[in-house]
Structure 1
Amino acid sequence: MNLFAVEYVYDQARTADIDALRPQHLEFLRQLHEDGRVVAAGRWQDAATPGALLLVHGQDHDDVLHLLDGDPFHRAHLVVRRTARPWQPAVGSLG
């Protein structure tokens, strides 16, 4: 499997909805982590663009986005943009 960097950009006008669904969103990602598909995931810590970065194993771009279609944030249309790009660390490893 290949590693992909997925960026989520959240709907800035729906922060209350994001807060309400965050527990289900995190549980979804935890399950994918336990299944070996999500390596790491977390939201951006600066205020520039609300969103998150996910490192996800997948066969290809479509496989990764299809896997993330089940994310409660995506299903509730809280993610206004998703990008998935193949990524490989040049220094260090992610195990």
Structure 2
Amino acid sequence: MAIFAVQYTYLDDAELVQKHRPEHRAFLTKKHEEGRVLLSGPKVAEPAGALIIVRGDSVEEVGKLMDADPFNDYGIITERSITEWNVVIGEL
């Protein structure tokens, strides 16, 4: 499996994000336990969003996996990019 960087940009609605964050984190935790999500965390700078490092076979397959993120159901993710990432220094 390859490694992919998934970047989210969130809707500018901190209350909505906060309300649904537990479901979102539970989803990511489950995927981490399954060995699919390697790292995840919010971006510190604006606009609000996250970077998630995911194992997968293709951009399309990772997209389908991340479509199940509850933040999608609530319209919190306004932009998403998925890019294969070739790690050459360091280890995950």
User: For residue 36 of structure 1, what is the aligned residue in structure 2?
Assistant: 35
Aligned-residue identity in percent:
35
Deviations 1:48-81 (A, max 9, x none): 2110000001110010010011111011110000
User: For residue 65 of structure 1, what is the aligned residue in structure 2?
Assistant: 63
User: How far apart are the structure 1 equivalents of 2:90 and 2:56?
Assistant: 20
- Partner amino acid, structure 2, of 1:56: V
* 1:45 shift after superposition: 1.4
Count of residue correspondences: 92
Deviations 1:2-39 (A, max 9, x none): 10000000011x21111000001000000000000000
* 1:89 shift after superposition: 1.4
User: For residue 87 of structure 2, what is the aligned residue in structure 1?
Assistant: 89
User: How far apart are the structure 1 equivalents of 2:44 and 2:91?
Assistant: 23
Task: Note if 1:74 corresponds to 2:72.
Answer: yes
Query: Where has structure 1 moved over 3 Å in runs of 4 or more?
Result: none
Task: Note if 1:6 corresponds to 2:6.
Answer: yes
SS at match of 2:82: strand
Instruction: State the TM-score, normalized to the length of structure 1.
Output: 0.93
Structure 1 residue runs of 5 or longer lacking an equivalent are none
Instruction: State the TM-score, normalized to the length of structure 2.
Output: 0.96
- Partner amino acid, structure 2, of 1:84: I
Structure 2 residue runs of 5 or longer lacking an equivalent are none
